[in-house]
Chain A
Amino acid sequence: MTEVGHPVELDISRAWLVDPGTGREGPGELVVRGGVLESVGWLEGTAAAGVDATGVIVAPGFIDLHAHLREPGNEAAETIASGLGAAAHGGFTTVCAMPNTEPPIDVSAAVLAAASAAEASGSPVRLRVLGAVTAGRRGESLAPLGDMAEAGVAGYSDDGAPVASAVLFRSALAYAGSLGLPLLDHAEDVSHGGGGEAADGLISTVLGLRGSPPAAEVTAVARDLAILADVVRDVPTARLHLTHLSTGAALDLVRRARAAGLPVTCDVTPHHVALSDEWLAGARRFAWDAIDDGRRRDPWRDGAIVAPPYDTSTRVNPPLRAPEDAAACLAALVDGTADAVATDHAPHAEIDKAVEFGLAANGISGIETAAGLLLAAVDAGRLPLLRAIEALTTGPARVLGRDDVPAPGFVEGRPADLVVIDRAARWAVSPETLASRGRNSPLLGLELPGRVLLSVAGGRLAYRAPD
């Protein structure tokens, strides 16, 4: 049997192939020899009988624009090796690592060190490193963006500590643009939303948690877009990517900016699409079930509260928001306003979560549950399967641009890069089933649809489900 890291031999017959490269999906078969995709066949007529999208599906390997791998500095939470293992378990074959490590990845040596760690891990999952925007992520002066570009960064981000200075943000956007690289911004006015424990709204009021208002995200997005509009006049290659947008109003701004031709892209996370702030109160139902005629349902009235409140695994920034905002994130995914789904995988050691809610670290360990949450939306009839796969493959590839990653799709003669998922198989999310060192998931104890059977990155085995 092939071991992780080795070239795969595969004969997949009678599966549902989803090829976002061509927009085609349907019954088909694949042959991989020595890691190379030798042939792809689409089945028709009687050969296709009985094969549908609810069984085994095959898609290009997923690309995550936003993951925290914690190395160097917090290896108790995750390492590059464990993070890449978790990614492969989640169906991801390319992962962009955020630079908010200790010390931060803000010089080329740190970029190269991360790349070496990925190489040493033996995992075939591609690591693409994001460099910090500002030195030390302090928001005071530009990091050596050009040096880091030469070291191979995929873009820049001060995720977690948004660049507060408008002047510095403007410079970074222009400078990164001249290097042909995107700026990934965590859009939040910290003077407004900082210290928030929950989304400002019904749940924060009832639970007595400090609220982070949607406006803290919306005003930051408005600022970013206004600056982008200025910058692109002089630097037409400037590119802004807004990560983990979580409010309907911010997504509306992006929708309008794109209609006006601005070079802006954005992503939403699986948890902002599928979960909502009522999870902080102990509800455990999907966001689309928490809404009625466009208005939130009251979980105390519905009997939806089934778990104790204040579970710190639900604390995340941006916070889980009202079901109306979750519905807006889903709508943006469906209509393409959101180019990508990014996991914002934020593993934490238990010691940083087993504390009072207000003291708990922000973040959800989410790279292994991302596909399951999206498939739950597909199962609920809220999201076309092809759109879900696009947002995990061609969408993020477009955000990265250039030739950073092979264009997702089934192309004969190229190294196979794919994920095989049994949509009919549900799996229990538990500390034992997660490969990440971070077990901080609000989904622990629940079941998700879509078991990943196999992940193949660059022709080599990245993950195989235990029998």
Chain B
Amino acid sequence: MTVAAATATAWRHRHLLDVDVLSPGEIGLVLNGALGMTEVVAGGSARTATLRGVGVTTLFYEASTRTRVSFEVAARRLGAEVVNVTAGASSVTKGESLLDTVRTLEALGARMLVIRHSGSGAPYLAAGQFGGSVVNAGDGRHAHPTQALLDLYTLWRHLAPDADPAGPFLAGRKVAILGDALHSRVARSNLWTLTSAGAAVWICGPATLIDGFGAWATGGIGGSRPFTVTTDLAAALADADAVMALRLQRERMTAGLLPSLAEYAARYGLTRDRLSTARPGALVLHPGPMNEGVEIAPDVANGPQSVVTEQVANGVAVRMAVLELLNAARIAP
């Protein structure tokens, strides 16, 4: 089953390093592809094994269970041979160079490299050396392409399931992203994809955690798609169709950006009362892992409006679609 396929669109990328280069048509290809994969995910069966025998290596310089496992499951469902490499954060500074590691993994058979790194831009460095495809699984504060795509997929299925995923299917919809946008690759990538789909995006948090976004908002994403930045939580939530709470890292206090976790929770935590000011039935998203009781109240995190576990399941389907598209581009003549 595919919805109003974006027929004329071809996927042009050997790597997925950022979402800023994806056309609406390419986003539509991923979303349609993911929709086709959901039956596979639900059924637990291997699909047509389009990645049979392809070496997929996950290279994680930052701890992450859910993203790594999600990629691993996605790759295995497509028949790939998966190798997981966890590089301690210490090896980044120890002089063991990323490029050495990439060359070594390629020599060991990696054809697709899924990389997570604490430094913004690191996947670009890897892509410059790697003969296969590099998938950015999160780099520093910069980008988390598959997270943004799975968030978009989730919104598509809930808010506009019959619309063309290559079109502005979120036009007229408001999405509020709450919390630490400054350090968030999830917020940055979602700004590109959500505005591409036509959503009105609101970034909301304490002044110290949305620093710099005001200037970006004025010119707009890609210089043409404005969004709204505010410290006013009530304004951000009013009539929102979806609310995404971002994870708050403890380090933000020691860096002097916030007085305390408690103050953050009191002023910006997504509680049931606050959620009730959004549009009735507004969706609640979170990229995980959640700090329940800080950026999101437990009864909201696990409440009826939460689609957090759906996001996780959708993540596998979206990553399968991405791996398949990249693999086809990789082996194309």
Contacts and interface: CB of A to CB of B under 8 A. Distances in A.
Interface in B27-84: none
Contacts of A359: 92-93, 119
A195 B250 CA distance: 20
Contact of A355 (B20, B120, B125, B140): B125
A356 B223 contact: no
A449 B197 CA distance: 44
Contacts of A300: 20, 221-223
- Bin the interface of chain A by size: 20 to 34
Given A200-B212, A351-B97, A359-B93, 12 more contacts: A202-B219, A207-B142, A208-B141, A297-B223, A298-B220, A298-B224, A309-B121, A310-B120, A310-B121, A354-B125, A355-B125, A358-B120
A233 interface: no
Contacts of B216: 202, 205-206
Contacts of A358: 119-121, 140
Contact of A207 (B97, B121, B122, B221): B121
B222 A208 contact: no
Contacts of B212: 200-202, 204-205, 211
Given A298-B222, A300-B20, A310-B125, A357 B215 contact: no
A206 B216 CA distance: 8
Main secondary structure of the interface of B (DSSP, over half): mixed
B231 to A, nearest CB: 17
Contact of B121 (A200, A354, A357): A357
Interface in B117-132: 117, 119-122, 124-125, 127-128
B143 interface: yes
Given A308-B128, A310-B125, A356-B92, A209 B120 contact: yes
By Cβ-Cβ distance, the 7 closest A-B pairs, closest first, are A301-B223, A298-B223, A310-B121, A208-B141, A208-B142, A205-B212, A356-B119
A302 interface: yes
A164 to B, nearest CB: 19
Contacts of B125: 310, 354-357
B247 interface: no
A245 B35 CA distance: 54
Interface string B200-225: 00000000000011011001111110
Given A205-B212, A208-B185, A354-B97, A301 B120 contact: no
B313 interface: no
22 contacts: A202-B212, A202-B219, A205-B215, A207-B142, A208-B120, A209-B140, A297-B223, A298-B219, A298-B224, A300-B20, A300-B222, A301-B222, A310-B120, A354-B97, A354-B99, A356-B98, A356-B122, A356-B125, A357-B122, A359-B92, A359-B93, A359-B119
B213 A205 contact: yes
B98 A301 contact: no
Nearest to A312: B125
